[in-house]
Amino acid sequence: MRKENIKRISSIAGLLILFVVIIAIYNENAEDELTRGVNFFKKHSFSFNDSSIHKHIHKYDHECGHNKIIEQEKLLDQPKQAFDESLFEVDDISKVLPIEKDFKNIRISMDYSNVASQPASVQTFLKTQVVPPIMNHLQEMIKVQRLTAPIKVDPYYKLKNCGQANIKIPAEHISVGVSNTDLIFYVQAYRDSSNLLAYASYCPQSEPYGLASGRPTVAYMNINLNQLDKDLASKDPMSLAKWIFILTHEVVHSLVFSPNYFDKFLGEKNPVKTFDGKSYVVAPSIVKLAQDHFGCPTLNKVPLEDEGGPATFGTHWERKAFGNELMTGSQLYDSVFSKFTAAMFTASGWYQVVDYMTATLTWGVGEKCEFVEYSCPKSSKEFCSVKGSACSYDYVSPGTCSDSDFLADKCTYWQGYSNQHCNFPDENTKKVYQTSGGAWGAKSRCFNTNVADSARWVGVKSLCFESYCDYSGSTTKVVFKVFNKEYTCTATTKQVTIPGKGVVDCPDVLRFCFSPSACPYSCSGKGVCRLGKCSCYKGFKGEDCSQLA
C-alpha cells in the first residue's frame, strides 16, 4: 500500500514538472512573440510620450545674477558714482555738463584688452558674432545727449581694477581718455562651474570724471567661458541667438535696469516702489503702457519679479505677466526687447528710444486686469491646465503644459521641446513631420492637429508646417501647407479640414503673426521682425540677418 502511494506521488510530481516545463516554454515563446510585436509597433509608430524622444523642455538654464553682483560690488572700495541733481534741469543740462543739448544716437566704444589672452577662436566669436549685434542694436535704438569731451576714467582705477570682474583699465583711458564716445564698454571673461553664463555692471566714476546726471559712462560685461565653450562644442544652431539675448539682458542691467540707478532717475523719479513686500514699477509712462497692453485701465502699478530669490526679484519684469520679455529673470527662446524695457530707458531721463527698433511683445496682450493682477487665470491664452502635448506659446515647437519654470509661481504654460523645434528638429522628429505632410526649417511653425494619426504616429498632437502670414488685406491671415497644398486661417477660423487626413486648429493670429518667430529663424537674434520680414541690425544682412554685411 505504501509502495502504491509512493508511485502515485511520483507520477503526480512528474506530471507537475512536465506541466511547469511546458508553461515555461509557452511563456518564453509568448514573450518572444510579444517582443516581436512591440518591436514591430515601435518600428511603424512613434509616440511623443516616449521620454527618449522628448529629451527636455527648451529653455535656457541661465539665471540672471545681477542683484548678487551689485551687492558684492557694494563691499568693494570703489568711487561713488557722480550724481548731483541740483546742478541741472532735466530739459537742459548742457549748461553745466560737456554735452550736446539735442539727443542723438549713443556712441559706444568697445574694449577687448581684458580678453587679449584668450584663445583666438573665443576672441573672434565675441568680436564678430556676439557683441556686434548687441551694441549695433543699442546704438541704433538708444539716444543720449552726446559728450563733447573725451571720457576719462577715474584715476582710482590706476590702483585697483573695476568691479567683480576685475576689469583692468588701460592706462591711456585714464590719462588721455576716449574721444567721440558716450560710453566705454569693457569685455572680460572668466571660468566658473556655475550655470551663470555672464553678468554686467558699471565702473563708478566720481566727480569730475562722471556725469552729474548719474548716467553711466563706463561699464563692462563678464562672460563665463566654461559655458561658452560648452555651447561652441555643441554645434547647437540656436546657441548664438541665446548668447545674444542673454548678453543684451545683462548690458541693459549695466545701463539702466538696476537698483544702482533707480534712485537717480531724472525723468520719472523713484520709478520703483514696494507694496506688501513686492516691488512694482510706478513710473506713469510705464503704467500707461501696461494699461494699454493688457487692456486694464485701472492698473496702477506694474509688477516686478517676486520669485527666484535675491538674485532676481525686484529687478526684472514679472514672468507671469511678461513671459518672454528680454528683462524677465531667466531667458526663454525668442526673448523680446519690447517697449516696456525701452520705456525704462526713457523714464531715466538719460536716454531717448527709437520706438521702431523695439520688438512686439504678444504675451498677455489684451488679457485684461485679471491676467496681471491675479495668478494663472484659466481664461488666458498664455496659461494651460491640461496634460498632454500642444504647440509652445510662441508656435516654434510642439511642447507640453509644464510648471517647470521656477519664476512662474507654478503657473503652467506650453513650453516647447528642444528636439522638436520647427527650425531645427532632430532626425526622428523630421521623419514625423515629413510623413505627416509637415516641414521644418526657417519658415516652419507649429500647429495643433490630428493629421499625424493618418500616418500612424501615435500621440502626436502637434506638427510643424511651412507657413507665412499674409498682412496685405484688412485682416492678417495665416497661410500654411500640408502635403504641399495651401490652407488659410483667419482670426475667425477655428479649424481647417485636410481631406482624408484630419483637421488643423487655427492659431491665434495676433500671437502667431506678430511674434519674432513670424520671421525666418526669428532674425537670428540680429534683427527685429516686422510684418514677417527681418529688419537687420547694422552690420548684418540676409533674409534671417545671419550674414555679415
Alpha-carbon distance of 395 to 241, in angstroms, equals 17
The total number of residues shown for the chain amounts to 549
User: Hey, CA dihedral for 59, 535, 337, 167, is it positive or negative?
Assistant: positive
Alpha-carbon distance of 502 to 491, in angstroms, equals 21
Q: What is the pLDDT of residue 47?
A: 33
pLDDT tens column, 165-185: 999 999 999 999 999 999 999
249 is in an annotated binding site: yes
- 297: cis peptide before it, omega within 30°? no
- Of 203, 232, 255, the one marking the end of a domain is 255
Q: What is the pLDDT of residue 49?
A: 35
- Of 255, 271, 294, the one marking the end of a domain is 255
**What is the number of other CB atoms lying within 10 angstroms of the CB of residue 494?**
8
- Of 208, 228, 255, the one marking the end of a domain is 255
Residue 249 has pLDDT above 50, yes or no: yes
For the CA atoms of 511, 512, 514, 518, the dihedral, rounded to the nearest 10 degrees, stands at: 150
Mention every residue, 6+ apart, whose C-beta is less than 8 A from residue 29: none
In a domain, residue 301? The reply is: no
- Beta-sheet strands, E only, within 368-412: 389-391, 398-402
- For the ranges 434-438, 494-498, 545-549, the lowest mean pLDDT is seen at 545-549
Cell of 449: 492637429
Alpha-carbon distance of 72 to 75, in angstroms, equals 6
* Residue 250 sits in the same domain as residue 386: no
Residue 333 has pLDDT above 60, yes or no: yes
Catalytic residue among 73, 250, 367, 466: 250
- 284: cis peptide before it, omega within 30°? no
Q: What is the pLDDT of residue 549?
A: 87
Task: Please indicate whether residue 172 is annotated as part of the active site.
Answer: no
Q: What is the pLDDT of residue 540?
A: 95
| Position 38 confidence tier, pLDDT thresholds 50, 70, 90 | very low
Overall number of domains in the chain = 2
- Asked if 529 and 520 count as a contact pair (C-beta separation under 8 A), the reply is no
In a domain, residue 414? The reply is: yes
Alpha-carbon distance of 261 to 97, in angstroms, equals 19
Alpha-carbon distance of 519 to 530, in angstroms, equals 8
In a domain, residue 142? The reply is: yes
In a domain, residue 397? The reply is: yes
Q: Residue 449: beta bridge partners?
A: 504
Residue 509 belongs to a domain with what CATH number? Answer: 2.30.34.10
| Position 136 confidence tier, pLDDT thresholds 50, 70, 90 | very high
Alpha-carbon distance of 265 to 270, in angstroms, equals 7
In a domain, residue 44? The reply is: no
Instruction: Tell me the DSSP string of 430-455.
Output: HHHHHHTT---STTEEEEEBSGGGGG
Q: What is the pLDDT of residue 382?
A: 93
Instruction: Tell me the DSSP string of 139-151.
Output: HHHEEEEEESSPB
Cell of 540: 548684418
- Three-state DSSP state, 38: helix
Q: What is the pLDDT of residue 396?
A: 97
Average pLDDT over residues 134-142: 98
pLDDT tens column, 9-33: 455 445 444 444 433 433 444 334 3
Alpha-carbon distance of 126 to 118, in angstroms, equals 11
In a domain, residue 523? The reply is: yes
Residue 210 belongs to a domain with what CATH number? Answer: 3.10.170.20
Average pLDDT over residues 536-541: 95
- Start-to-end C-alpha separation, the chain: 106
Alpha-carbon distance of 328 to 336, in angstroms, equals 10
In a domain, residue 400? The reply is: yes
CA-to-CA dists, residue 198 to 119, 261, 282, 485, angstroms = 18, 20, 29, 46
- Residue that is written with C-alpha cell 553682483 in the block: 69
- For the ranges 94-103, 269-278, 373-382, the lowest mean pLDDT is seen at 94-103
Which residue, among 512, 513, 520, has the nearest Cα to 542 in the 3D structure? 520
> How many angstroms from the chain centroid is the CA of residue 41?
38
Average pLDDT over residues 429-451: 97
Q: What is the pLDDT of residue 142?
A: 99
* Residue 247 sits in the same domain as residue 102: yes
Give φ, ψ of 174 to 5 degrees: -90, -45
Q: How does 268-297 read in b/e, with b if 16+ C-beta sit within 10 Å?
A: beebbeeeeeebbbbbeebbebbbebbbbe
Alpha-carbon distance of 394 to 309, in angstroms, equals 27
- Residue that is written with C-alpha cell 486661417 in the block: 489
Q: What is the pLDDT of residue 254?
A: 97
Alpha helices (H) along 45-186: 51-54, 66-74, 120-124, 131-141, 171-175
Average pLDDT over residues 432-447: 97
In a domain, residue 277? The reply is: no
In terms of residue numbers, what domain contains 126? 66-255
- Asked if 509 and 489 count as a contact pair (C-beta separation under 8 A), the reply is yes
Which residue, among 279, 275, 285, 278, has the nearest Cα to 348 in the 3D structure? 285
Average pLDDT over residues 493-507: 97
